[in-house]
Structure 1
Amino acid sequence: MARQKKTNGNDNGKTLTTQQGMNQYVKNICDIMRRSNCAGALQYVPELTWILFLRILDEREHIEAEEAEAVGIDFITSLSKPFRWQDWAAPEGEKRKELQEGALGAFFGFIHGELLPYLKKLKDLPNATPRQKVISEVLSGVDRVRIDTERNMLEVLDRVNEITVNAIDDTHIFALSQIYEGLLLKMGEKGNDGGQFFTPREIIRTLVKIVNPKIGETVYDPCCGTGGFLAQAYEYMRSSVADDLTPDQLEALKQHTFFGREKENLIYPIALANLVLHGIDHPHLWHGNTLTGSEQYGGLYENAPGQFNVILTNPPFGGKEGADAQTNFNYKTSATQVLFLQHVLDSLKPGGRCGIVVDEGVLFRTNEQAFVQTKRKLIEEFNLWCIISLPGGVFTTAGAGVKTNLLFFNKEEKTTEKIWYYDLSHIKVTKKNPFVKEYFDEFFKLMPERADSEYSWSVSREEIEKKNFDLKAVNPNAKTGGDSRTPEELLDIIEQKGREISELLALLRK
């Protein structure tokens, strides 16, 4: 039975009852934007992000105001008139009607001259709330509307206005946050240049499940991209207690749990919106360069801890850093991924747990001192208990063909004695054969005992040290695929082929 939902003044009675229907509805909005000067996902997703964010914010605050009134508490909205969605964007809004009845260009004039400046300055208000700071940062990269005409803009607003809590029958389809993740996937597809910000969701879900974050712990991603690890951790932690979630636990999850950093101006606002759409009221995201410490905005990161209980992350592959980044680390290297690994080691709290994606080069390279020293520290000061070798094509759809691995380690008194490996590299991943969660089924069966199998084995610390900390997964049980034929059999084949060639040459000479 569908749970009862509160209504608001913007509900138009439209109900989306199937996953396909919701996907098609959002696609139709994107189609309007594609014909309106937003040709690709890197253009229309950021534009739809801030529009959708303001729509959902308005509905959320309307519901919160009703709940506050029911218990006799005053509720102060984050936005004042006429800057609320219900004023300027909803079809029945007073400000919108005024603008539509006004001079040509009045609507864009209001957005560019009043709305955007107001929203972007909210964070500078005396005693600005965390939500007001989030609003400003979501709008931080929006200087002008990208959609080309007021008519197209109004059509987009009308369609987005129909996306409400009441409009989505969530007994049959995913929450709106899942639809938004589908939009982010479009940004990460090969050819969109967004792959560096997007980790396949099956990889994220597996990392979260293995690390198993718990309510009361802090969760951190030092290069959070669109916020996928933090959003999935929230979903996992909330569902882990299901109906037993207390008000205090919910408050902790929404306000005090999730921390991240992101450098890119385009991606940082999208990450904030993504986390808010998932239900995280106060995402503590720092805007700046994690490796250099150069800050663009830290207002949402105030009072963040220096170390965290759980770290979930996928650092960039193959980047090169200058001296300004290297000076902050003990082991100097230009390799971005190695510096991020050092940052993660320094940021993990005693008793903490980490799941991280690394490229193959980090594991096998022993010809550069920083690679070896970083891995030595990982082995000698942490318990690196598991490495999963992924198929080569997992990140191909995101524009990266590099071979990757998942590392899991804990910061505890017991350091690495042996590493349990699990090999998935034999699986062929293509566009028609994507990576799916079922590939991890055997892994989860074997994980409690860290048992050996055709695709799993253990390597001792002594063996690792002998190999100068080469951690590459080399499955001792893998079939070589070599030619099993004897020399005599090969000679017979050569002779037979020689006779066939001689017969063909004789025919040609006739």
Structure 2
Amino acid sequence: MFEQTFKNIDDILHKDAGCGSELDYVEQTSWVLFLKYLDDLERDRATAAELTGKTYTPIIEPEYQWSIWAAPKLQRARLSKSGSVTEPVEVDHNALTGDDLIDFVNGKLFPYLSKFKLSAENADTIEYKIGEIFSELKNRVQSGYNLREVINRIDELRFRTHAEKHEMSHLYEDKIKNMGNAGRNGGEYYTPRPLITTIVKVVDPKIGEKNYDAACGSAGFLFEAYEYL
């Protein structure tokens, strides 16, 4: 399911004037994927907190939550300001598109997310990482209609199980490998999986030791070390 979705997204971005290379496709797909993944993470945390009788404070304010600006639907539950999962409520199902979507993403969403870096307690927090990412990134998709298609495709994906996350990691590595094969500079960040597996076997990590990947991208070394252990 993920592989076909990525192919469809590449076809959409290929038509956009702001995306001219495989590197652009990966970058622009990644920030949308990140926000969808973050929304799923917040929902899991809110559910876990509710089951234990605790209160979860969402990272993202309601206006900027995925289920509000990206994929509003009728009868969809969302996080309240207090962090609890509200009962399904009827919300506007006419999602932003065209110039309205581009104006929101460029003028409101990215500036809001980039400020997390300044307000985060320290660099180890997820808030700081959000701010770091969106301080460096720019939305290069010029057509709000193309961006709407990309968002709709990604909204269909789910990242709740380990199998889904594992598939996503492999597909991301394939994307980076393809950039390298095409002569793009993104390929310099790719280490072939057989080489990773061999290095892990030579290092021979032991349970109880710390495993550190100083140039972690798709976490291939960490995953193979985990599997080895």
TM-score of the alignment, normalized to the shorter chain, above 0.5: yes
Q: Partners of 2:46 and 2:162 in 1: how far apart?
A: 23
Is the contact between residue 176 and residue 187 of structure 2 (CA under 8 Å) also seen in structure 1? no
Identify if the C-alpha distance between structure 1 residues 198 and 169 changes in structure 2 by more than 3 Å, giving closer, same or farther. Answer: closer
Structure 1 residue corresponding to 2:30, chosen from 42, 49, 61: 49
Bigger Rg, which one:
1
Sequence identity percentage: 33
Given residue 128 of structure 2, which amino acid in structure 1 is its aligned partner? K
Residue 200 of structure 2 corresponds to residue 208 of structure 1 = yes
Matched ranges for 1:87-106 at <5 A: 87-92=68-73, 94=91, 97=94, 99-100=96-97, 105-106=99-100
Match in the other structure for 1:125: 119
Residue 60 of structure 2 corresponds to residue 79 of structure 1 = yes
Identify if the C-alpha distance between structure 1 residues 195 and 175 changes in structure 2 by more than 3 Å, giving closer, same or farther. Answer: closer
Match in the other structure for 2:172: 180
Q: Partners of 1:86 and 1:120 in 2: how far apart?
A: 20
Higher helix share: 2
Higher strand share: 1
Match in the other structure for 2:47: 66
Given residue 67 of structure 2, which amino acid in structure 1 is its aligned partner? Q
Deviation at 1:216, TM superposition (A): 4.1
Q: Partners of 1:211 and 1:43 in 2: how far apart?
A: 35
> How big is each residue's C-alpha offset from its partner over 1:276-332, in whole Å with a ceiling of 9 and x where there is no partner?
xxxxxxxxxxxxxxxxxxxxxxxxxxxxxxxxxxxxxxxxxxxxxxxxxxxxxxxxx
Q: Partners of 1:90 and 1:203 in 2: how far apart?
A: 40
Q: Partners of 1:135 and 1:110 in 2: how far apart?
A: 18
Given residue 207 of structure 1, which amino acid in structure 2 is its aligned partner? I
Give ranges in structure 2 of 5+ residues lacking alignment. Answer: 77-90
Residue 143 of structure 2 corresponds to residue 149 of structure 1 = yes
Given residue 31 of structure 1, which amino acid in structure 2 is its aligned partner? D
Q: Partners of 2:13 and 2:115 in 1: how far apart?
A: 27
Identify if the C-alpha distance between structure 1 residues 96 and 80 changes in structure 2 by more than 3 Å, giving closer, same or farther. Answer: farther
Match in the other structure for 2:131: 136
Match in the other structure for 1:26: 6
Q: Secondary structure at the match of 2:31?
A: helix
Given residue 180 of structure 1, which amino acid in structure 2 is its aligned partner? Y
Is the contact between residue 200 and residue 224 of structure 2 (CA under 8 Å) also seen in structure 1? yes
Match in the other structure for 1:319: none
TM-score (norm 1): 0.38
Given residue 158 of structure 2, which amino acid in structure 1 is its aligned partner? T
Identify if the C-alpha distance between structure 1 residues 32 and 170 changes in structure 2 by more than 3 Å, giving closer, same or farther. Answer: same
Identify if the C-alpha distance between structure 1 residues 138 and 212 changes in structure 2 by more than 3 Å, giving closer, same or farther. Answer: farther
Match in the other structure for 1:116: 110
Match in the other structure for 2:221: 233
> How big is each residue's C-alpha offset from its partner over 1:140-160, in whole Å with a ceiling of 9 and x where there is no partner?
3223x2122111100000000
Identify if the C-alpha distance between structure 1 residues 217 and 123 changes in structure 2 by more than 3 Å, giving closer, same or farther. Answer: farther
Is the contact between residue 55 and residue 160 of structure 1 (CA under 8 Å) also seen in structure 2? yes
Q: Partners of 2:140 and 2:178 in 1: how far apart?
A: 18
Q: Partners of 2:208 and 2:217 in 1: how far apart?
A: 20
Given residue 8 of structure 2, which amino acid in structure 1 is its aligned partner? N
Is the contact between residue 213 and residue 237 of structure 1 (CA under 8 Å) also seen in structure 2? yes
> How big is each residue's C-alpha offset from its partner over 1:408-434, in whole Å with a ceiling of 9 and x where there is no partner?
xxxxxxxxxxxxxxxxxxxxxxxxxxx
Q: Partners of 1:188 and 1:108 in 2: how far apart?
A: 30
Identify if the C-alpha distance between structure 1 residues 148 and 76 changes in structure 2 by more than 3 Å, giving closer, same or farther. Answer: same
Deviation at 1:215, TM superposition (A): 4.7
Q: Partners of 2:113 and 2:194 in 1: how far apart?
A: 36
Give the 4+ runs in structure 1 shifted more than 6 A: none
Given residue 6 of structure 2, which amino acid in structure 1 is its aligned partner? V
Which structure has the higher relative contact order (CA within 8 Å, separation 6+)? Answer: 2
Q: Partners of 1:106 and 1:233 in 2: how far apart?
A: 41
Is the contact between residue 187 and residue 194 of structure 1 (CA under 8 Å) also seen in structure 2? yes
Deviation at 1:221, TM superposition (A): 4.3
Given residue 140 of structure 2, which amino acid in structure 1 is its aligned partner? R
